[in-house]
Structure formats: structure tokens, C-alpha cells
Amino acid sequence: MSKLANVKTWGQSIWLDNLSRTLIQQGDLARLVAEDGISGVTSNPAIFRKALAESPYYQADMSRLKNELSDAEARYEALVIPDIQAACDLLMPTWQATQGNDGYVSLEVSPALANDTEGTILAARRLHARVNKPNVLIKIPATAAGITAFEQVISEGISINITLIFSLRQTDAVFAAYVRGLQRLVAQGGKGDGVKAVASLFLSRIDSHVDPRLAKLENKAASALQGHAALAVAKLAYQHYKMLFHGEGFAELANAGCRPQYLLWASTGTKNSAYSDVQYLDNLIGPETINTVPDATLNAFRDHGHVASTVDQHLEVAHSDYQTIESLGIDLNQVGETLQQEGLVLFDEAYRQMVASC
């Protein structure tokens, strides 16, 4: 059994953080599903910008659509939605075998809507209807406006990947909105078991931001904490997850068939070459989690990853690291706000460049 496939024995799903028509048409995605147990796919504007620039399989459709559609954003959606649908079809057996708990493909709303609650709601409804697959997740950023929109569309029974989470405070706000949305759904007579939501917590960017600040402090305690911030945030977020979704506060919804909102580890490609290239995989394996992994990191883990249940290990260290970093004057919740804004800018730039090329 592949190491990647073996991760499932510890309750974690591995999703591919990539999607292109090349992956679909040349059979690479199907092989990853069959051989490595890949059970989901995530996409974002940067991923599709790369796909449209590099894959030869879009050229004919791009030429045709320029004659058929005057709006560049409409052309972009017409190009990528068939890829989302094809990936959904490929993962449909996984979705069926897990009774809707796995086998999802994510498609993001326009980053320009990050601070527009009503616009996000309308876009989520429209994209969900256009893809028209039960195993699609619409991606919404975890801004204040996005979280309000997230609660609303969950109450309507739309499955969501809420993304660009970088802190415990943002994670808790997302979890609370999910619970409120489910409560509204169930109160209206809706079926909770038809809704899936994940919370995408970005990791490597936390360390990329915190490490230079620790280095500037020029003391041994701070230096020893470099590369520890993201794992501390992730491990503590998982404890928050367990307390909420396996506690009394979620019991009534669980009895109504509602699913917990799994944490999804995102941005798991290590950016600092001094660290293990599987740092954000090896240390965060555990039940009811998802790790969405770029191609290079998949290959690294397949080669030398360590498969064990680790997300609950070294919790005392995680608590200590988190508290010490904060005691050194680095507010990790504020770091999360900064990183979210930076992430929105990056995704918006990628989205604009991609749409302009269509």
C-alpha cells in the first residue's frame, strides 16, 4: 500500500492541491486516486492561472469562447467548470462509498467578493447550481463578510470549503458560523446529512511570517521556536475541533445527522528548505482531518513520509510554543489577520491575471 493511501488508516484524507485539464485527460488524477488513495481535489485562482497558461488542452475552447462570450469572467468559468465537473465524476465513487463524507472538489468564488456578503452568497448559489454535482464544495474566504455568507449558504444546504484561515480566532469564528447555519437548516426542516463543510487552515505561511520576527529577537528561546508556530496553531485548532464537535454543544445536531466541520490543512508545501519537506504532513495526521497537498509534497511524502497518528502528540509542547511566541510580543491572532489580507491580495491578483488571459 502507498504511504499516502496508508494515511487513511489513521482517519485522514489526502486531497490534491492541484487541478488542470492535463491531469484529467492524461489520466494522472485517476492514477492518484487508484494508487495513492487521493480522495479530493482543491483548486484556487493561482492553480487555474497556472493550468490555463501551461496546459495545451484549453486552447481550442479558449478560441471558441472568445467568439461566443464577450465577458472574460464568463469565459473563465466556462473553461474551468467542466474540469471541476470531470473531477467530481472521477471522485463520485469515493463520495458514494463514504456516504458523502469524502470525495469532494473545490471551486472558489471570485476573490473580489471577499468583503461582499450578498455577492458571495449569490456567487455560491450560482456556482453550486452550475457545477450541479453533489460532491462540489464552493470555496468562500473566512473574512467577516465571508463568514456571514458561509452561515447563510450552510443554512440553505450548500456544501462549503471556507478558506484563508490562519489563526485560532478565525477557526473558532468559522466553526461557530457553521453550527449556526446548521441550526437554521435543521429548524427549517432541512437535512443536515446532505451538507459537508471543511475549514481550510493555512500553515506554511504562518511560519514564513513568524520566523523572521523570531529571528530579529536574537535570543536562543526565540530561535528555537522557528518553524513551530504553524504546528502549534494547527494542533490547538484540532483540540478546539474535538471539544466542539464531539462535545455537548454539537450533540443535538449530530443526532439530526449533521456532520462535523473537518479541519483541512492547507498550504502544506514547506517554504523553508531548512525544514523537513513533509513537516506539515508527518506531524498532523489524525482522525477527521484532511490534508490538501501540492504535487511536489505528495512525491516527497510518498518517498520518505512517516505514517502515524500524530496530530494529538506533543500537545504540551504546542501549548507552550504558542504561549511563548505570544509572550515574545507576536500576537498570533493578529498574524492571522495580516496573512488573510495578504492571501486575499495574492488570490485577487492571480484571479485578475487569469481572467485577463481568457
Separation of alpha carbons 106 and 22, rounded Å: 17
Helix 332-357 to helix 45-54 angle (10° resolution) is 30
**279 contact partners, CB below 8 Å, separation of at least 6:** 227, 231, 270
> Strand, helix or coil at 100?
coil
Helix, strand, coil % over all residues of the chain, rounded to 5: 60, 10, 25
Q: Which of 3, 139, 196, 235 is catalytic?
A: 139
The full DSSP string for 44-94 is -HHHHHHHHHH-GGGHHHHHHHHHH-S-HHHHHHHHHHHHHHHHHHHHHHH
User: What is the helix (H) or strand (E) element at residue 234, kind and residue range?
Assistant: helix 229-245
Task: Quickly count: other Cβ atoms within 10 Å of residue 276's Cβ.
Answer: 16
**Nearest residue to 292 (alpha-carbon basis) of 304, 280, 308, 303:** 280
Separation of alpha carbons 149 and 303, rounded Å: 41
Is 139 tagged catalytic?
yes
User: Which residues are part of the catalytic machinery?
Assistant: 139
